[in-house]
Chains A and B, each alone.
Chain A
Amino acid sequence: MTSGRYLLTGLTLPNGDKTDIAISDGKISEIAENLSAAEGATKVDLAGSIALPGLVDLHTHLREPGKEDAETVLSGSMAAAKGGYVAVSAMANTSPVADTAGVVEQVYALGQSAGYVDVFPIGAVTQGLQGENLSEIGAMADSRAKVRVFSDDGRCVFDPLVMRRALEYVKKFDGVIAQHAQDPRLTQGAQMNEGEISSRLGLKGWPAVAEEAIIARDVLLADHVQSRLHICHLTTAGGVEIIRWAKARGINVTAEVTPHHLLLTDESALSYDPIFKVNPPLRTQKDVEALREGLADGTIDIVATDHAPHPAEAKECEWQEAAFGMLGLESALSIINQTMVATGLMNWEAVADRMSYAPARIARYSDHGAAIKVGAVANLTLINPTQTLRVDRDLVASRSRNTPFHGMDLQGSVTATFFKGHPTFLNGKLSAIYEARNPSGGR
């Protein structure tokens, strides 16, 4: 590999130490103050930026294959790099569904050729996400994509026997089932959080219990079969309590929260603007506070974006006709800075854990989630926490524009992303790793 040498100056490590970082041959070659640039090294002044281990997203909808009008592996990878990510996990609800080795290998290969982040496919738990028969879980695990995370995300694995079998089966290769906790009977036609606001708006309610009941059932199942369970996008205060209880009992459960559930509430729906329509729904301020507290104390292990691109027409319509989901990759770290760090709830070491170490550990992405140290692969995310990010849906790298944060000033802005020593995002510009290896750009 002939990738360049870089000297990043003016950084602060997660532990608060001031430092410069030198990168050479894709690895971190030196970490110290006042380094001088090696011959041929590009010096990058990043004064004011925090250096984090490269971010890993465990919940990303890249829409390819099947919905390339909304996103592709390439455009989603670019959005990821811009948001500070070096690895994303492509959810299985594509068309065709990622329920065979063929589909996951295709998505993995598309990620490699895009060259902005590692794209790790998530396999479907059940064939066609139908919740009935197990998909080719073993074949996906043994494929070149080496799938370890399985999820029917978008749908709940509702049948308790199917869930039990899936939890048991993935023990063979240390896999994990990522559950979209939503009781389908209690949420038929549901549009938003069930509460005062849904009742006032006449939008069908999505009760918190529909999420909590599944979480409670599944932590008990995971305990019974001694397997690993991951709860996707936790949204309720009650859910946080159940996870806390399960962990105290030693149950092997992990949980994620999205940036939007840490920032927005169901009051957003008062506009009837479906840009705020998302599954699971935005909840109340009380839930937001419980989620923040849970993330800070480690009850919730990770932040995951649930980046869900949709074409314009899926949102330019009546609320009940609109698709669920919102963009997340490009604004995630800014929101975590604003809601968790600037508020004093978490320090940067905790951010490194929740957004890099822990997601890599849960998904068994062995090349990711390492601490910043000499000799490690140079996967780095740089954020200037005082710089404002003015979100503009017309300037996103994603192929879709459905960000609920349009026009908002978020606190903190990603200044650079290094993926295997290559600046995939620097000075506002994106570049694929191939452009370093092969400057003529042929790929």
Chain B
Amino acid sequence: MKHLLSINDLSKVEAISVLDTAQELARVSDGPMKKLPTLRGRTIVNLFAEDSTRTRISFEAAAKRLSADVINFSAKGSSISKGESLKDTAQTLQAMGADAVIIRHSASGAAQRLADSKWMSGSVINAGDGTHEHPSQALLDAFTVRKHLSKGGNDLSGLRVAIVGDVLHSRVARSNVLLLSKLGAQVILVAPPTLLPVGVESWPCQISYDLDEIISNVDAIMMLRIQLERMNELYFPNAREYSRYFGLNSDRIRAMKPEAIVMHPGPMNRGLEITADAADGARSVIVEQVANGVSIRMAILYLLLAGNQEHADIGVNL
């Protein structure tokens, strides 16, 4: 595998191998010597054409722990903000000898355009493209779910995961539906009908308009961010009504199964889709998701760039 553009690029076996690799790498990160020499001499570019803090930092930390040279190329103040085309940016990165480009872009399909074009030859990793996909986020979410809830197997079979909120505009939801269902989990999308895409019935998941109806019956609940600009686009009457029907609050937290966990890809709108006590409560694994993100992104970089070395090599390479 050369690129990671969509969860569809991964077979179930490959997806599990990313999770397993991340698990091993997490063990290294917990040890006294955090840095591995695996990608020494490789150049990785963080091409963030859209504002992002946590994903960019997470990829940067992952690349640095694998000893890669990291170049950050962010929208603000760069040639992208001056109107440079994706093609010219890609050719520039190619000329600088980038081995991999991690791209975050507001246009759906930007990562695939980069990978399919002849503009550059390195690996392309999709760090979120428009409202299409965010595969590394889904992998870290699956990793988090597996760590907390797996009943011994290496996949997610037997688990029920609800994804709640603005599915229509969510790349996190698209990648998660594909990945969690591939790993055997049952996914339920919960949203007002206005925030579900046309044709969603063909996705490998169930649909509900009623959070209270499903909340007591899921193992994990993933809250999606409601972007503030949606407020004026007629998707729902107002924030209060949205929170009342689709927000996670302490009453709903109490209705959940004893072991069920609460997730959010961040950044959160506290008070809108999630209350502070839900976000910070005992069920919340939101901060842990961030930590797991580094391990997952190390695993992605490792598997894409370190060739066909066996996972067992990780230990040997120390």
Binds B, one of A168-176, A190-198, A245-253: A190-198
| Interchain nearest-CB distance for B119 vs A (Å) | 9
| Interchain nearest-CB distance for A271 vs B (Å) | 7
Contact between chains at B108 and A201 (CB < 8 Å)? yes
Measured CA separation A309–B93 after assembly (Å): 30
- Majority SS of interface residues in chain B? mixed
| Chain A window 180-198, contacts with chain B (Cβ cutoff 8 Å), 1 for yes, 0 for no | 0000000000000011111
Contact between chains at A319 and B198 (CB < 8 Å)? no
Q: Which of A198, A202, A273 contacts B174 (CB 8 A)?
A: A202
Q: Is B79 an interface residue (CB 8 A)?
A: no
Contact between chains at A202 and B129 (CB < 8 Å)? yes
Binds A, one of B12-20, B110-118, B142-150, B269-277: B110-118
**Listed residue (B129, B131, B198) with the most chain A CB atoms within 10 angstroms of its CB:** B198
Contact between chains at B110 and A318 (CB < 8 Å)? yes
**Listed residue (A196, A272, A321) with the most chain B CB atoms within 10 angstroms of its CB:** A272
**In the complex where A202-B130, A272-B113, A320-B130 touch, is A196 in contact with B199 (Cβ < 8 A)?**
yes
Q: Which of A196, A202, A317 contacts B108 (CB 8 A)?
A: A202
**Listed residue (A201, A271, A313, A318) with the most chain B CB atoms within 10 angstroms of its CB:** A318
Contact between chains at A271 and B198 (CB < 8 Å)? no
Contacts of A317 in B (CB 8 A): 85-87, 113
Contact between chains at A196 and B202 (CB < 8 Å)? yes
Contacts of B117 in A (CB 8 A): 316
Number of A-B pairs whose CB atoms are under 8 Å?
70
Measured CA separation A198–B116 after assembly (Å): 19
Measured CA separation A272–B112 after assembly (Å): 7
Contact between chains at B109 and A205 (CB < 8 Å)? no
| Interchain nearest-CB distance for B115 vs A (Å) | 10
Contact between chains at B198 and A199 (CB < 8 Å)? yes
Contact between chains at B109 and A272 (CB < 8 Å)? yes
Measured CA separation A204–B106 after assembly (Å): 13
Q: Is B141 an interface residue (CB 8 A)?
A: no
Measured CA separation A202–B131 after assembly (Å): 5
Which residues of B113-144 have CB atoms within 8 Å of chain A's CB atoms? Answer: 113, 116-117, 129-133
Contact between chains at A319 and B199 (CB < 8 Å)? no
**In the complex where A199-B197, A202-B129, A202-B132 touch, is A316 in contact with B109 (Cβ < 8 A)?**
no
Q: Is B231 an interface residue (CB 8 A)?
A: no
Measured CA separation A232–B130 after assembly (Å): 31
Q: Is B105 an interface residue (CB 8 A)?
A: yes
In the complex, residue of chain A having the shortest beta-carbon distance to the beta carbon of B178 = A200
Which residues of A285-323 have CB atoms within 8 Å of chain B's CB atoms? Answer: 313, 316-321
Measured CA separation A203–B85 after assembly (Å): 20
Contacts of A202 in B (CB 8 A): 108-109, 129-133, 171, 174
**In the complex where A202-B174, A316-B85 touch, is A195 in contact with B109 (Cβ < 8 A)?**
no
In the complex, residue of chain B having the shortest beta-carbon distance to the beta carbon of A318 = B107
Contacts of A53 in B (CB 8 A): none
Measured CA separation A287–B171 after assembly (Å): 29
Contacts of A197 in B (CB 8 A): 199
| Interchain nearest-CB distance for B83 vs A (Å) | 11
Measured CA separation A184–B107 after assembly (Å): 21
Q: List 8 A-B contacts (CB under 8 A).
A: A196-B202, A198-B198, A203-B109, A313-B87, A316-B85, A319-B113, A320-B107, A320-B108
Q: Which residues of A contact B (CB under 8 A)?
A: 194-205, 207, 271-273, 313, 316-321
Interchain residue pairs A-B with the least CB separation, the first 5 = A272-B109, A202-B132, A199-B197, A196-B199, A318-B107
